[in-house]
Amino acid sequence: MKSFEVISSMISMAFILALVMGLAYITTRYVGMSSVKRFKNSNIKLIEVMSIGYQKYLYIVKVTDKFMVLSVTKDDVKLLDTVDTEKVIINQDEGLIGKDFKNMLEKVIKRQSK
């Protein structure tokens, strides 16, 4: 009788854990999608980021129709310059969105083996 109670207790704990994990997954997906939708039609877009040192970055940001180069550190943000629209090259690559992980992993392995 005691072993039945232990088994039923373990099954109920596993069910509760699975339920909590499922709810956490659904919640994070919902929050992530809502933030993407909220900023999709924004007037501010991050075009490019480059690290130039420890906690020092250069950002190219598009605000309405102007491109700005910003210097960002952990304590400060400075406007370095505004750039003409025709001088900015925008990469149309969507990053990792929609890419096949297997193919990307094979490309990385090939590059490292050379």
**Do 70 and 82 meet the contact criterion of CB atoms below 8 Å apart?**
no
Domain tally, the chain: 2
Does 50 share its domain with 87? yes
Residue 105 CB neighbour total at 10 angstroms:
10
Give the length of the chain: 114
In terms of domains, do 63 and 33 share one?
no
pLDDT in tens, 33-70: 776 666 666 788 888 899 999 999 999 999 888 999 99
Instruction: Tell me the pLDDT tens digit for each residue of 68-114.
Output: 999 999 999 999 999 888 778 777 655 555 567 788 788 888 888 77
pLDDT score recorded for residue 32: 74
Average pLDDT, the chain: 84
Rg (CA), the chain: 24
Structural domain range at position 2: 1-40
**Same-domain pairing of 9 and 56:** no
In this predicted structure, what is the pLDDT of residue 80?
A: 95
